[in-house]
């Protein structure tokens, strides 16, 4: 059943959002914000998970969520204090709810005992908490069993419904009802209160429903109507006596009809025994018997000739919203069944002008499959390329000749750029969704390591492409683990060093041009460089005599298989942490920079592209081939003839720029392409790599700027050092994207050899 | 016939929408009580189905506001709730709720409950 599958997909989608929300709320609660708003939000999240789960019959999930919800309900109304143990239980419960949701999603069984312990704790707390509060609260009982995943109309205990004595027809206005000898014969007295009308209940609808149970006779009692002087237009003067003849009706089924008006009316339901009944009239008699004054519909034209009782009806008809319902009349099930829904629908259709243009009012956002957005993103990407290709085709002759075309192309370029921004904005999401998972991680890490750590987050609202966000969770987790495990010192050590016992990890996000910078910073001991170098030598990551700068040493922590942990803990230190960070981040076109200050702490910065789809680049030529260099990393371009080259003491070629010596990489040499061009005619592209380090790339020619859609080399070919990816140019040629960061980093193995 | 459904759960809104539109109703949606009021300010509806537990404005406040406006005294409002305890339902009724639907709802029951309160 595809409908059901759709609903389930929606439900699981919603669940994962709600679970994230739970994390956030508990992070704030843990931080001391135990406000009613937060507790309500937590309650609602669990409540929604339970509600939807019930609809699909996820009974294990529902039962657990229900027990948890009951506890939360007590917590939010203050019957149970949210002490630390209770908070810990709740956080544990959130995990279990996630497990149950996951089990429901994948169809795997968790076993009956799963979560039983926690449920017992909920129940113990809930019952204990409730006992401490007002006695006689109706939620005291074992609530889990009450919840039934089937639709259970709640039976109303109508006063006197079953036990009411038989009421003889004492009132002289009572018209005796027909009676079938073999059938159940019920007499119902019904006197609405004003609240009944105030809640939009309508006696006519009740009678209609009663008529579905059997043959119904309705008698309006109008003798309550006061003299005109005392008459209140909105007063309730009409009561009814009804007789229901039905072989199947029971006190319950009749009571159910009045379920919604219980407490808003005087009601008695009594079964007549046959000896109290009178002789049975024929059906023809029946029609005559029930000819109450109000049987005919009242129209304005008839008002003048009306009796007082009828006048009362008119008043009510004119103010149906607050006063009485339309006149009662004899109704039989055959008359009532088919008409109402379709008729009402037709009437409404007539009344409404242009139903379609109002459809969906009140909806301010739509949910779209990510695939559909990606299709648009891709197509916009291609459009951008086509547009840049067209622009390239315009040479000066054409420009002079077709000015209109040029203007059109300029508008096209602008529109395309706007379209692209708009599409990217659709995919952008605040980093909050990832950041919100981290407080809990830090909490757990603090617990496991016995350290005191607090997490600060800054810039949660910074938006970044959804795909990037998805790839961010693992690297951030590793980085924070690393900070907690290796960075922050034990409280004793911190005290001895004169630092506050509580270590701080700061997680921040900010936008910087076309990039997002995400930093994890701790105030721990910094990277122990001596130890890093020693370990790197021991593990042959670097050569025995290789001299490294501090920065290079710091970056060793990203080398595959590197770990300085003294003992392999279950947190980090298995040596598969930071190299995973680096490869994950590189995969999404980002880079990692680490900066450490001994004794003061470490800061790791991720530089991520705003979007993965399109890159602004400079198109250059190296040998016969086109290459592109990301515009975001280019500082300036210089003609080689004007460049100030020199030699470093090591013999390496350097470029002097404003008193600074910059490493030079000739791309033709580096990529082993023959360059036919004279050095004087070539160009230097000065780039800035991670950490502000500059590198000068020598290219044969600069063609221009454009945008490209990145295609992964790893997916389509294989990873090449110094190349970040590929792209297809407007003319169909493939150009490789230069990895500035990768070219800058000296290849440690080679250098060591 | 037009139904306004007010619930913060997309799952419930989607299921209501499916059930109700299959039964020939036109369905309007709102995610909380405040948005429900916004819809009622501009749209005519024949019946409202509202959840109780919602952010921003809960179902009980929503019903109170609807009734307080005076314009919707005869608008049937059904309370959609999983609460098996009587409290919430009674609060909803006291605020002016016409009837209630217990979640999870059976499609047929849902329609029949609507017909109980709408002409």
Is the pLDDT at A279 greater than 90? The verdict is no
Structure tokens at A195: 């609240």
CATH number for the domain spanning A585: value is: 3.30.565.10
CATH number for the domain spanning A135: value is: 1.20.120.160
Nearest to B96 among A14, A152, A198 (CB): A198
HSE at residue B71, side-chain half, CA atoms within 13 A, is 11
Phi/psi region, residue A380 (left: phi>0; alpha: psi -120 to 50; beta: rest), is: alpha
* Residue in the block written with tokens 């998970």: A49
pLDDT digits (tens, 9 = 90+) for A625-645: 899 998 877 888 888 888 888
Domain's final residue, options A293, A320, A340? A340
HSE at residue A237, side-chain half, CA atoms within 13 A, is 22
Residue A177 lies in a domain: no
B74 CA: distance to closest CA in chain A (Å): 4
Clarify whether residues A232 and A295 are in a common domain.
yes
Clarify whether residues A424 and A435 are in a common domain.
no
The range of the structural domain enclosing residue A328 comes to 184-340
Task: Tell which wins on pLDDT, A384 or A698.
Answer: A698
Mean pLDDT of chain A: 74
Closest CA to A583 of A700, A742, A734: A742
Residue A158 lies in a domain: no
Is the pLDDT at A165 greater than 60? The verdict is no
pLDDT digits (tens, 9 = 90+) for A12-68: 888 988 888 888 888 888 877 778 888 888 888 888 888 888 888 888 888 888 888
pLDDT in tens, chain B (119 residues): 899 999 988 888 888 888 888 888 889 999 999 888 888 888 889 999 998 888 888 888 898 888 887 778 888 999 887 656 567 777 888 888 888 888 777 788 888 888 888 87
Sheet holding A515-522, edge to edge: A453-458, A503-512, A515-522, A601-609, A591-597
Task: Quote the DSSP letter at residue A557.
Answer: G
Looking at A567-576, A620-629, A657-666, which range is the least confident one?
A567-576
Clarify whether residues A258 and A398 are in a common domain.
no
The answer to whether the CB of A516 falls within 8 A of the CB of A459 is no
Contacts of A10 in chain B (CB under 8 A): 10-11, 14
Nearest to B82 among A6, A54, A201 (CB): A54
Is the pLDDT at A562 greater than 80? The verdict is no
pLDDT of residue B85: 57
Domain's final residue, options A407, A429, A451? A429
Q: Region A137-155: what's the mean pLDDT?
A: 38
Residue A485 lies in a domain: yes
Whole-angstrom Cα distance, residue A351 to residue A355? 9
Is the pLDDT at A173 greater than 50? The verdict is no
Confidence of residue A355 (pLDDT cuts 50, 70, 90): very low
pLDDT of residue A691: 55
pLDDT of residue A573: 43
Task: Tell which wins on pLDDT, A750 or A630.
Answer: A630
Q: Region A729-748: what's the mean pLDDT?
A: 75
Clarify whether residues A54 and A77 are in a common domain.
yes
Structure tokens at A721: 């050092």
Confidence of residue A676 (pLDDT cuts 50, 70, 90): low
Closest CA to A559 of A546, A531, A540: A540
Clarify whether residues A572 and A641 are in a common domain.
no
Is the pLDDT at A477 greater than 70? The verdict is yes
Contacts of B79 in chain A (CB under 8 A): none
Considering A163-177, A229-243, B1-15, the range whose residues carry the highest mean pLDDT is B1-15
Nearest to A341 among B84, B96, B115 (CB): B115
Nearest to B74 among A43, A320, A340 (CB): A320
Is the pLDDT at A508 greater than 90? The verdict is yes
Contact criterion met (CB < 8 Å) for A54 and B93 = no
Residue A26 lies in a domain: yes
The answer to whether the CB of A657 falls within 8 A of the CB of A694 is yes
Clarify whether residues A401 and A513 are in a common domain.
no
Clarify whether residues A421 and A547 are in a common domain.
no
Clarify whether residues A582 and A656 are in a common domain.
no
Whole-angstrom Cα distance, residue A204 to residue A703? 82
pLDDT of residue A149: 38
Clarify whether residues A443 and A299 are in a common domain.
no
Whole-angstrom Cα distance, residue A209 to residue A216? 10
Is the pLDDT at A464 greater than 60? The verdict is yes
Q: Does B17 touch chain A (CB under 8 A)?
A: no
pLDDT digits (tens, 9 = 90+) for A404-453: 888 888 899 889 888 887 887 887 888 888 888 888 888 888 888 888 89
Closest CA to A685 of A727, A632, A723, A722: A632
**How many Cβ contacts (< 8 angstroms) between chains A and B?**
150
Residue A347 lies in a domain: no
Q: What is the CA radius of gyration of chain B?
A: 13
Clarify whether residues A445 and A571 are in a common domain.
yes
Clarify whether residues A419 and A444 are in a common domain.
no
Residue A364 lies in a domain: no
Clarify whether residues A210 and A334 are in a common domain.
yes
pLDDT of residue A518: 92
Looking at A282-291, A395-404, A583-592, which range is the least confident one?
A282-291
Residues 41-60 of B with CB under 8 A from A: 42-44, 46, 53-55
CA geometry: angle at A228 spanning A226 and A234, to 5°? Answer: 70
Domain's final residue, options A429, A447, A474? A429
Q: Region A364-375: what's the mean pLDDT?
A: 78
B61 CA: distance to closest CA in chain A (Å): 14
B36 CA: distance to closest CA in chain A (Å): 8
Q: Does B87 touch chain A (CB under 8 A)?
A: yes
């Amino acid at each position: 059943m595809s409908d059901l599958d759709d609903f389930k997909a929606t439900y699981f989608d919603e669940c994962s959002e709600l679970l994230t929300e739970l994390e956030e709320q508990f992070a704030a609660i843990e931080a001391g914000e135990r406000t009613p708003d937060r507790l309500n939000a937590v309650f609602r999240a669990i409540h929604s998970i339970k509600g939807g789960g019930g609809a699909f019959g996820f009974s294990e999930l529902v039962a657990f969520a229900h027990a948890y919800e009951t506890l939360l309900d007590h917590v939010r109304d203050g019957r149970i204090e949210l002490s630390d143990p209770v908070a810990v239980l709740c956080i544990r419960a959130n995990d279990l709810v996630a497990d149950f949701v996951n089990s429901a999603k994948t169809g795997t069984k968790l076993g009956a005992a799963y979560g039983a312990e926690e449920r017992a704790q909920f129940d113990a707390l809930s019952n204990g908490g409730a006992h401490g509060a007002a006695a006689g609260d109706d939620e005291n009982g074992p609530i889990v069993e009450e919840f039934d995943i089937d639709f259970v109309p709640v039976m109303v205990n109508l006063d006197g419904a079953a036990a009411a004595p038989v009421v003889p027809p004492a009132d002289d206005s009572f018209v005796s009802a027909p009676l079938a000898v073999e059938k159940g014969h019920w007499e119902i007295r019904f006197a609405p209160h004003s609240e009944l009308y105030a809640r939009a209940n309508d006696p006519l609808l009740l009678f209609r429903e009663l008529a579905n149970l059997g043959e119904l006779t309705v008698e309006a009692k109008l003798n309550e109507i006061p003299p005109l002087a005392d008459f209140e237009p909105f007063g309730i003067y009409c009561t009814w006596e009804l007789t229901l003849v039905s072989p199947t009706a029971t006190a319950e089924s009749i009571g159910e009809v009045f379920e919604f008006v219980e407490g808003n009316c005087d009601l008695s339901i009594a079964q007549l025994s046959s000896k109290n009944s009178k002789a049975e009239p024929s059906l023809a008699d029946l029609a005559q018997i029930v000819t109450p004054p109000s049987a005919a519909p009242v129209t304005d034209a008839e008002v003048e000739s009306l009796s007082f009782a009828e006048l009362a009806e008119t008043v009510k008809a004119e103010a149906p919203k607050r006063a009485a319902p339309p006149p009662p009349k004899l109704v039989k099930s055959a008359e009532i069944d088919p008409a109402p829904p379709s008729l009402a629908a037709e009437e409404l259709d007539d009344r409404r002008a242009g139903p379609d243009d109002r459809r969906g009012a009140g909806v301010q956002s739509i949910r779209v499959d990510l695939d559909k957005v990606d299709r648009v993103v891709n197509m916009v990407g291609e459009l951008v390329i086509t547009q840049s290709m067209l622009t390239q085709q315009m040479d000066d002759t054409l420009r002079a000749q077709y000015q209109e075309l040029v203007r059109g192309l300029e508008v096209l370029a602008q529109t395309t750029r706007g379209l692209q921004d708009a599409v990217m904005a659709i995919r952008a999401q605040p980093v909050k969704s990832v950041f919100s998972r981290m407080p809990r991680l830090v909490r757990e890490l603090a617990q496991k390591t016995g350290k005191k750590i607090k997490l600060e987050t800054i810039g949660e609202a910074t938006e970044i492409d959804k795909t990037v966000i998805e790839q961010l969770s693992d690297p951030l987790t590793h980085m924070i683990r690393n900070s907690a495990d290796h960075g922050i010192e034990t409280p004793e050590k911190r005290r001895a060093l004169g630092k506050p016992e509580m270590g701080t990890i700061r997680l921040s996000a900010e936008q910087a041009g076309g990039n997002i910078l995400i930093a994890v910073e701790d105030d721990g001991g910094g990277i122990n460089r001596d130890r890093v170098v020693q370990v790197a030598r021991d593990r042959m990551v670097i050569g025995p005599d290789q001299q490294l700068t501090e920065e290079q040493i710091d970056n060793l922590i990203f080398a595959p298989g590197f770990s300085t942990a003294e003992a392999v803990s279950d947190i980090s230190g298995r040596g598969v942490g930071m190299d995973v960070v680096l490869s994950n981040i590189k995969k999404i076109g980002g880079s990692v920079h680490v900066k450490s200050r001994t004794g003061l702490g470490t800061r790791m910065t991720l530089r991520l592209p705003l979007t993965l789809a399109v890159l602004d680049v400079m198109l250059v030529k190296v040998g016969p081939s086109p290459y592109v260099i990301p515009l975001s990393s280019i500082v300036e371009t210089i003609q080689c003839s004007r460049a100030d080259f020199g030699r470093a003491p090591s013999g390496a070629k350097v470029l002097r720029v404003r008193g600074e010596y910059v490493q030079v990489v000739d791309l033709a040499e580096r990529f082993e392409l023959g360059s036919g061009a004279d050095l004087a005619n070539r160009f230097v592209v000065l780039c800035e790599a991670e950490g502000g380090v500059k590198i000068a790339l020598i290219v044969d020619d600069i063609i221009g700027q454009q945008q490209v859609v990145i295609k992964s080399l790893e997916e389509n070919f294989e990873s090449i050092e110094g190349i970040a990816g590929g792209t297809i140019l407007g003319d169909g040629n493939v150009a490789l994207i230069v990895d500035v960061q990768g070219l800058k980093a000296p290849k440690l193995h080679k250098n060591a050899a | 016939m037009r139904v306004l459904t007010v619930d913060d759960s997309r799952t419930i809104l989607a299921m209501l929408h499916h059930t109700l539109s299959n039964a020939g109703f036109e369905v309007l949606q709102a995610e909380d009580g405040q948005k429900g009021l916004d819809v009622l300010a501009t749209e005519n509806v024949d019946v409202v189905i509202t959840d109780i537990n919602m952010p921003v404005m809960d179902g009980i406040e929503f019903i109170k506001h609807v009734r307080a406006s005076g314009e919707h005294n005869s608008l049937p409002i059904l309370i959609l709730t999983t609460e098996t305890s009587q409290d919430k339902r009674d609060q909803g009724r006291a605020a002016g709720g016409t009837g209630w639907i217990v979640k999870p709802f059976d499609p047929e029951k849902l329609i029949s409950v609507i017909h109980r309160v709408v002409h």
